């Protein structure tokens, strides 16, 4: 195996593009090293992106926030402006693993590992986040939900890597939330999860919303029907019931030791409703 730590995005792309054997990007390593040591992969080349300065920064931009691909999740929780604007995204990122894992893991890695139960991904999908992808043919920007295409599989082509995650600017009266079900109080993988992001008008009526679900399909789901149930409402019981029904209807989960199909489908509705209430309160709704 060759280890290399380029200092520019351009150099990283060139290394990945010309690699002969299997090449992997190393950010936090909390997935990659586990897979290497478990013998699941044998990389010929590992490209460590943590020496690329631009990838280590969280920046407030004219259009929102830019989170570099090598920023550890712990740093997101230390960024007061980000926590204020996107509390749901930050709480999701800070649910991943332990403090030790949060000191290394990144939301870009969580996205590119393409796990259906990834904690930060539903929150990013609900937030309308975009992935900035750099590759041999230049830059492209895609909604984050288009990056994972199945368990462990992404839409990234050879030589491509995610440079940053872009979160949009916050409208007034907006809020987001992420909830997951696990059978313990911490350090576990989501059995079901839900992200909700919404905005209100001055009267507290939901004007737009995005709802996402995790661990109930091969990829994290964006559920437009669930969002539609909230729009035009003040989160009354009827709207919440519709939200729950739409969330359950979108589920296509597996049956495994962590949760049955029936359980996941039911709990998806419960979590979507609870997350919606938290997001609504954060947006200033009463």
The one segment of 37-45, 85-93, 151-159, 213-221 that binds another protein by CB under 8 A: 37-45
List the x/- string, 38-77, binding to another protein by CB under 8 A.
x----x--x-x-x---------------------x-x---
d(C-alpha 125, C-alpha 212), whole Å: 6
Q: Specify whether the CB–CB gap between 259 and 175 falls below 8 A.
A: no
Question: Least distance (Å) from another protein to the CB of residue 34?
Answer: 5
State which of positions 232-271 bind another protein (CB under 8 A). Answer: none
CB of 148 to another protein, least distance (A): 22
Please say which residue, 142 or 189, places its beta carbon nearer to another protein.
189
Number of residues in contact with another protein under rule CB under 8 A: 28
Residue in 17, 54, 101, 142 binding another protein, rule: CB under 8 A: 101
155 binds another protein (CB under 8 A): no
| Residue 36 binds another protein, judged by CB under 8 A | yes
What is the DSSP track for the chain? -EEE--SSHHHHHHHHHH-SS-EEEESS-TTHHHHHHTTS---SEEEE-TT-GGGG-EEEETTEEEEETT--HHHHHT-HHHHHH-HHHHHHHTTSS-HHHHTT--HHHHHHTT-TT-SHHHHHHHHT-EEEEEETTEEEEEEGGGSEEETTEESPPTT-EEEEEEEEPPPSSEEEEEEEE-SSSSS---SEEEEEEEEE-TTS-EEEEEEEEESSSSS-EE-HHHHHHHTTS-S-HHHHHHHHHHHHHH-----BTTB-HHHHHHHHHHHHHHHHHHHHHHTT--
We find the least distance from the C-beta atom of residue 141 to another protein, in angstroms, to be 29
Closest CA to 226 of 241, 215, 216: 241
- Which one among 20, 99, 203, 257 touches another protein, defined by CB under 8 A? 99
Neighbours of 58 (CB within 10 A): 18
Q: What are phi and psi of 188, to 5 degrees?
A: -150, 170
Nearest one of 188, 193, 182, 260 to 220, comparing CA atoms: 193
Counting contacts by CB under 8 A, is residue 11 touching another protein?
A: no
Residue 48 or 208: the one with the smaller Cβ distance to another protein is: 48
Least separation in angstroms between CB 11 and another protein: 16
CB-nearer residue toward another protein: 186 or 236: 186
Q: Residue 48 or 57: which CB sits closer to another protein?
A: 48
Smallest distance, another protein to C-beta of residue 37, A: 6
Considering only 97, 116, 159, 214, the residue that binds another protein (CB under 8 A) is: 97
- Between 37 and 203, CB nearer to another protein: 37
Instruction: Give, as ranges, the residues between 172 and 211 that touch another protein (CB under 8 A).
Output: 186-187
Task: Give the nearer residue to another protein in terms of CB position, either 35 or 277.
Answer: 35
Binding positions for another protein, rule: CB under 8 A: 1-3, 5, 26, 28-30, 33-34, 36-38, 43, 46, 48, 50, 72, 74, 97-101, 103-104, 186-187
């Amino acid at each position: 195996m060759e280890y290399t730590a380029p200092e520019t995005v351009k150099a990283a792309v060139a290394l990945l593009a010309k690699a002969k054997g299997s090449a992997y990007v190393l950010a936090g390593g909390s997935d990659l090293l586990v897979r290497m040591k478990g013998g699941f992969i044998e990389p010929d080349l590992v490209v460590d992106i943590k020496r690329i300065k631009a990838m280590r920064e969280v920046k407030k931009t004219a259009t929102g926030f830019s989170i570099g691909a090598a920023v550890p999740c712990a740093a997101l929780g230390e960024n007061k402006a980000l926590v204020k604007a996107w509390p749901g995204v930050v709480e999701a990122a800070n649910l991943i693993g332990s403090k030790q894992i949060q000191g290394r893991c990144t939301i870009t890695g969580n996205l590119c590992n393409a796990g259906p139960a990834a904690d930060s991904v539903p929150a990013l999908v609900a937030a309308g986040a975009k992935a900035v992808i750099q590759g041999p043919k230049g830059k492209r920007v895609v909604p984050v939900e288009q990056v994972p295409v199945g368990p462990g599989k992404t839409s990234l082509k050879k030589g491509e890597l995610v440079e940053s995650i872009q979160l949009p600017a916050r409208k007034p009266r907006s809020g987001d939330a992420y909830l997951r079900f696990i059978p313990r109080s911490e350090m576990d993988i989501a059995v079901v999860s839900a992200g909700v992001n919404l905005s209100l008008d001055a009267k507290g009526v939901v004007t737009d919303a995005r709802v996402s679900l995790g661990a109930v399909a091969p990829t994290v789901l964006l559920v437009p029907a669930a969002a539609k149930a909230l729009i035009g409402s003040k989160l009354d019981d009827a709207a919440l019931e519709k939200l729950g029904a739409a969330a359950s209807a979108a589920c296509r989960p597996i049956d495994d030791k962590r949760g049955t199909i029936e359980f996941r489908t039911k709990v998806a509705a419960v979590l979507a409703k609870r997350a919606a209430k938290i997001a609504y309160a954060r947006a200033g709704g009463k």
